[in-house]
Amino acid sequence: MKTYESWLAKLRKRAQPSGALSQWAEVLTKKQGGDAEMWREHLREILEEEEKASLELILDLDLITAPARKENPEDEQIPLW
């Protein structure tokens, strides 16, 4: 079972590239409302453990930060007949 601490550690890794928080904040603004600056501040507070993320935010961040899935036609099942 995934713990909050392990989720937070993974989120910190994903937040390392420059501009990641700004991108996430823009997506959250569109999805949940508010403004991007508010979301950037809220995300910083979560990453610095000043605040805990809600379940809704955890789910949204998992969707936003998930690595892109590569579609590879070679992975398709080959017909047997």
Summarize pLDDT for 47-61 with one digit per residue, the tens: 999 999 999 999 999
Q: Cα separations (Å) of 60 from 23, 28, 55?
A: 13, 8, 9
Q: What angle do CA 2, 17, 67 make, to 5 degrees?
A: 45
Question: For residue 20, what is the enclosing H or E element?
Answer: helix 20-32
Dihedral of alpha carbons 57, 58, 59, 61, sign: positive
Task: Please check whether residue 32 is in contact with residue 13, taking contact to mean a CB–CB distance below 8 angstroms.
Answer: no
Residue 39 pLDDT grade (very low, low, confident, very high; cuts 50, 70, 90):
very high
Q: Is 1 helix (H, G, I), strand (E, B) or coil?
A: coil
For residue 67, the model assigns a pLDDT of 76
Residue 72 has pLDDT above 90, yes or no: no
